[in-house]
Amino acid sequence: MWGCVGLAQAQTSIQERLKAIQADPVALKAAVDAGRKASFFCANCHGEEGISKQGDVPNLAGQNPAYLLEQIRKFGSGERKDAFMQGLIKVLKDEERLQIALFYAANPVPPVRTDATLAARGKVLFDKLCVRCHGEQARGHETYPRLAGQKAAYLQTTIIRYRDGTGIRNNQLMSIATSTLKNEDVQAVAAYLAQLP
């Protein structure tokens, strides 16, 4: 019982520290600079500025830092499963985790060109199924990830996994939201999201 309480307090504390740093421009700049250095091993997959080098690996640039910090925590605790990520994250101190989250959040996400007709169809689907949680601009917030500017291939794979229940992560809301999507719908939603700034 005490272990769970202690973990919850530690997580609250790091989220409070995140807010304090974000409110102080000098501390924020120092944290972002430190995060650039601490994230050197992340660059192999997620890119030096958080723009993934691989289609099946997510961009981290522009992501909400509170959301990133929570995902880092989940990998570190084993709640999210990926042997490679879990191994890397376990060696990071809390301060380094915080700095990495702030570094990636500070980087811009360059949109990519996609088929305009497909993207228009994807916007209709996004507005119907996704906007409640991910926001009108698909930029997410502390609880839900930014999808704007994400890799189309990554989005397609992730949406299909939620729809089909084949991924490691399960989320009832995502399963419900994606359940009616055909593969061509998934492609349209991914095209729409990938071209957003």
CATH number of 2-106: 1.10.760.10, 1.10.3720.10, 3.30.70.100, 1.10.1060.10? 1.10.760.10
**Residue 130, CB half-sphere, CA atoms under 13 Å: how many?**
29
Buried b (16+ CB within 10 A) or exposed e, 55-79: eeebbbbbbbbbbbbbbbbbbbeee
Predicted pLDDT of residue 42: 94
Query: What tens digit of pLDDT does each residue of 85-121 get?
Result: 998 899 999 999 999 999 999 999 988 999 999 999 9
CATH 1.10.760.10 assigned to domain 116-194? The reply is yes
- Decide whether 2-106 matches 116-194 in CATH topology: yes
Instruction: Say what the pTM is.
Output: 0.89
Instruction: Please choose, from the candidates 169, 6, 141, the residue with its C-alpha nearest in 3D space to the C-alpha of residue 64.
Output: 141
Average pLDDT over every residue of 171-193: 96
User: What are the boundaries of each domain within the chain?
Assistant: 2-106, 116-194
Percent of the chain scored above 70 by pLDDT? 94
